[in-house]
Amino acid sequence: MHIAPVSPLTCPHEGAPLVRRDNTLVCPHKHSFDCAREGYVNLLVVQDKASLDPGDSREMVAARQRFLATGTYAPIAAAVCASVLALLQNHGDKRPYSMLDAGCGEGYYLGALATALAAHARDTTVHLAGIDISKWAVKAAAKRALPVAWVVASNRRPPFAPACIDLILCLFGFPIWPGFAAVQPAGAHVLLVDPGPDHLLELRRIIYPEVRIAERAPTAAVDGYSLVSEQRVLASAELYSPAAIADLLSMTPHAHRASIEGRVALVARTELAITIDVKLRVFRRTAT
Ligand SMILES: C[S@@+](CC[C@H](N)C(=O)[O-])C[C@H]1O[C@@H](n2cnc3c(N)ncnc32)[C@H](O)[C@@H]1O
Ligand SMILES: [Zn+2]
């Protein structure tokens, strides 16, 4: 399989295609964006930012990077790769297939996907892109040196031409459906991974006096998309170091919600058995 970055990116001001001139991307209206040394570009404009440094902080990104490097979430990556390969199978070989990881974090899942795709013998070209609103996440992802267009941008306005993305992955992320619809044709797919009811139950039992059953409300409005399939991925894992336990806490929303007492109880642990329980859903774009 041939893998290349999604191209062209589009200007965040008026949506015109960007072309590369030396180390800069420019649009016909003379807006220009510097390509960072690491190999990403920042297309986030002020109206897409709720703060000066939006998205995951440098520390959260570093914690996620260390934790994912332990391989603990490999069962999730395997399920995502299998699901993507099945969608690709149905697509046929005729034209290139473009995938966007929307909220790509430090690039763990695109890394796993690039490996899975490269090992696949089919004669298809796959274009890959990863966007995240956190510049720290994109900076870390770009260091993976993969054939991926890495961009600091918001899911509210992915910087791609209309109808050019066949599949959007949104993994433990923040789907913004109108933003997704703006870049997908009818028949295109969105793959969501969200925590299931038992996800990290053991960690939640330590940090909260009372554990809520559902971690996250189901996605309510999905205008222009219909649910095609739903799969639960269940696995268990063992964390053997206080550092891995601390990293896991730092990369989840529980880091902000845990009480002081909860944190103290967690950091006292030297090992922790965890349940991995995620819901993998595929949606299909029904209308344009
Ligand atoms: C829980 S992390 C998941 C990262 C990655 N998908 C993973 O599973 O390793 C959520 C990510 O979404 C990013 N994010 C938050 N709001 C976003 C938005 N509006 N557009 C794009 N990314 C966003 C955060 O910066 C963070 O990297
Ligand atoms: Zn422009």
CA 114/CA 147 separation, integer angstroms:
8
Band of pLDDT at residue 46, cut at 50, 70 and 90: confident
> Quick one: which atom of ligand 1 is closest to the CA of 169?
6
- Interval 76-100 mean pLDDT: 91
Q: Is the pLDDT of residue 189 over 70?
A: yes
Pocket test of ligand 1: the residue of 65, 108, 174 to mutate, having most ligand atoms within 8 Å of its CB, is 174
The predicted-structure confidence for 235-279, as pLDDT tens digits, reads as follows 999 999 999 999 999 998 888 888 888 889 998 999 999 999 999
- Interval 40-47 mean pLDDT: 94
Given a contact cutoff of 8 angstroms between Cβ atoms, the answer to whether 270 and 244 are in contact is no
> Quick one: which atom of ligand 1 is closest to the CA of 48?
19
Report all structural domains of the chain as residue ranges with CATH numbers, in order of start. 2-195+278-285 (3.40.50.150)
- Interval 97-113 mean pLDDT: 98
pLDDT at position 187 is 95
Nearest ligand to the CA of 32 is: 2
- Interval 39-49 mean pLDDT: 93
What lines the ligand 1 site, CB under 6 Å?
55-56, 64, 103-105, 108, 131-134, 137, 154-156, 171-174
pLDDT at position 217 is 54
pLDDT at position 214 is 62
- Ligand 2 centroid from CA 249, angstroms: 40
| Prediction pTM value | 0.96
Nearest ligand to the CA of 169 is: 1
- Interval 157-180 mean pLDDT: 97
Minimum CA distance residue for ligand 1 atom 25: 55
- Ligand 2 centroid from CA 16, angstroms: 6
pLDDT at position 288 is 65
Q: Is the pLDDT of residue 232 over 70?
A: yes
Q: Is the pLDDT of residue 93 over 70?
A: no
Minimum CA distance residue for ligand 1 atom 13: 103
- Interval 45-69 mean pLDDT: 92
- Ligand 2 centroid from CA 154, angstroms: 17
- Interval 22-45 mean pLDDT: 97
Q: 169 versus 214: which is more confidently predicted?
A: 169
45-69 b/e (C-beta count within 10 Å ≥ 16 → b): beebeeeeebbbeeebbbbbbbbbe
Q: Convert the chain into a string of H (helix), E (strand) and C (coil).
A: CEEEECCCCECCCCCCECEEECCEEECCCCCEEEECCCCEEECCCHHHCCCCCCCCCHHHHHHHHHHHHCCCCHHHHHHHHHHHHHHHHHHCCCCCEEEEEECCCCCHHHHHHHHHHHCCCCCCEEEEEEEECCHHHHHHHHCCCCCCEEEECCCCCCCCCCCCCCEEEEECCCCCHHHHHCCCCCCCEEEEEEECCCCCHHHHHHHCCCCCCCCCCCCCCCCCEEEEEEEEEEEEEEECCHHHHHHHHHCCCHHHHCCHHHHHHHHCCCCEEEEEEEEEEEEEECCC
Nearest ligand to the CA of 11 is: 2
Pocket test of ligand 1: the residue of 47, 155, 247 to mutate, having most ligand atoms within 8 Å of its CB, is 155
> Quick one: which atom of ligand 1 is closest to the CA of 155?
20
User: Which of 127, 46, 34, 119 lies closest to 81, judged by CA?
Assistant: 119
11-44 b/e (C-beta count within 10 Å ≥ 16 → b): bbeeeeebeeeeeebbbeeebebebbeebbbbbb
Sheet holding 19-21, edge to edge: 19-21, 24-26, 32-34
